[in-house]
Amino acid sequence: MTQLMNRCYRLRRRPAGTATAEDLEFVEEPVPDLRPGQALVRTLWLSLDPSNRIWMSDTHYHLPPVPIGGVMRGLGIGQVVQSWRDDLRADDLVSGYPGWQDYVIADAGDGAFTVVPPPAPEPLSALLGPLGHTGITAYLGMTDIGRPRPGETMVVSAAAGAVGSVAGQIGKALGARVVGIAGSQRKCQHVVADLGFDACVNHRDPAWREHLDELTPDGIDVDFENVGGSIMDHVLTRLTVGGRVVLCGLIADYNGYGAPPDGRGRLDIAKTLMVKRAVMQSFLVLDHMDRFPEATTYLGGLIAENKLRYDETVVDGLEHAAEALTGMFDGANTGKLLVRVAERMDVPGEVQA
């Protein structure tokens, strides 16, 4: 039998500023032999997320940094192709952290994967989008922190992004007026025409602040924040008394941008919250795994009622993952950015040790 080979990305160095493909090394290595208590998982889908960039840095941001030389961490969906574990069977679909590679050896008790209970959703990739961490993050932020009341005004930054697009549609379902912020006219058009947002401003338009002001005459009750930086600063100047800031992401900061490029000073956030008796709260989906069933039931219901549309940008082939990540920070994708690594294959079941 030919030795099974594994293509994988290893972290060559920590990025300075924007991550580039050169920060990673794409190598091919033999897959080690399986030992008792291990399973071999083949990666089918990888999810590209802003957190990939965080894990490349030396900051402990929810999870420890990827060590230099280590396999790049990534969320994804895999298929068990061989198992010497009691809790996994060959052909099981699993979701978790395969990393940026074709194959991963999953040790019993390492918590890297959970089994996807059949029937798997169609398409399978929805598990990385509206029915996965992405959708559940939007759900938790909206129901626990944002809680818009009917008629309130909500703003979502990165409105065409994976989390923002779901958060905005949940806001609409809850009766809020939803204004998006996105990085191009095309994306703005998309979130209004296809996703049902009430309006959207393009933050690359120099007059975007004035546009947002006009679109939120009564202020902003909820900010679902994905971007941070000078975009968030302006949104927060319009916060109403009792406003809520769902601190979901700060993608503007992840590449190490400092002060806003236009020379504005940064907003005094504490003073803003103080004056508006407002709240700013962050959260992590992994802290709330007990609520995943509640969340996926709600999100599945919205999809069934045609109230939640989701988009995917699919990149074919593991070999394109690094350049796709770079593109994400330039706003190249709409909706969830995914890498299709392999098709599900026929695996003889019950090939237990």
Q: Concatenated DSSP letters for 286-302? A: GGGGGGHHHHHHHHHHH
Assigned token pair, 168 = 């905005």
Distance CA 311, CA 263 (A): 35
Contacting residue, 105, 250, 342, 347, with a copy of itself by CB under 8 A = 250
* Nearest in space to 155 (alpha carbons), one of 242, 220, 232, 252: 220
Decide if residue 257 touches a copy of itself (CB under 8 A). no
Contacting residue, 280, 325, 338, 341, with a copy of itself by CB under 8 A = 280
Contacting residue, 84, 208, 257, 283, with a copy of itself by CB under 8 A = 283
Helix (H, G, I), strand (E, B) or coil at 52: helix
Q: Concatenated DSSP letters for 83-143? A: E--SS--TT-EEEE---SBSEEEEETTS--EEEPPSSPPSSGGGGGTTTSHHHHHHHHIII
Looking at the Cβ atoms of 107 and 268, the one nearer to a copy of itself is: 268
Return the half-sphere exposure (C-beta side, CA atoms, 13 A cut-off) of residue 290.
1
Distance CA 155, CA 171 (A): 9
Assigned token pair, 272 = 């803003």
The interface region with a copy of itself, picked from 89-97, 267-275, 331-339, 341-349 by CB under 8 A, is 267-275
Decide if residue 270 touches a copy of itself (CB under 8 A). yes
CA quadruple 135, 137, 142, 143: dihedral sign: positive
Looking at the Cβ atoms of 167 and 341, the one nearer to a copy of itself is: 167
- We find the least distance from the C-beta atom of residue 62 to a copy of itself, in angstroms, to be 8
Decide if residue 271 touches a copy of itself (CB under 8 A). yes
Interface of this chain with a copy of itself, residues 44 to 73, rule: CB under 8 A: 59-62
Decide if residue 117 touches a copy of itself (CB under 8 A). no
Decide if residue 232 touches a copy of itself (CB under 8 A). yes
Looking at the Cβ atoms of 71 and 235, the one nearer to a copy of itself is: 235
Contacting residue, 178, 228, 311, 336, with a copy of itself by CB under 8 A = 228
Looking at the Cβ atoms of 27 and 279, the one nearer to a copy of itself is: 279
Q: How many residues of this chain bind a copy of itself (CB under 8 A)?
A: 30
Decide if residue 289 touches a copy of itself (CB under 8 A). no
Decide if residue 5 touches a copy of itself (CB under 8 A). no
Contacting residue, 73, 187, 276, 336, with a copy of itself by CB under 8 A = 276
Non-local CB neighbours of 1 within 8 Å, separated by 6+ positions: none
Decide if residue 318 touches a copy of itself (CB under 8 A). no
The interface region with a copy of itself, picked from 84-92, 167-175, 247-255, 319-327 by CB under 8 A, is 247-255
- We find the least distance from the C-beta atom of residue 257 to a copy of itself, in angstroms, to be 11
Decide if residue 279 touches a copy of itself (CB under 8 A). yes
Q: Are 176 and 222 in contact (CB under 8 A)?
A: yes
Assigned token pair, 177 = 């007026």
Looking at the Cβ atoms of 52 and 83, the one nearer to a copy of itself is: 52
Instruction: Give yes or no for a cis peptide into 130 (omega within 30° of 0).
Output: no
CA quadruple 64, 65, 68, 69: dihedral sign: positive
* Nearest in space to 11 (alpha carbons), one of 43, 56, 50: 56
Contacting residue, 4, 173, 273, 314, with a copy of itself by CB under 8 A = 273
Binding residues for a copy of itself, rule: CB under 8 A, are: 59-62, 225, 228, 232, 242, 247, 249-250, 253, 266, 268-271, 273-284, 287
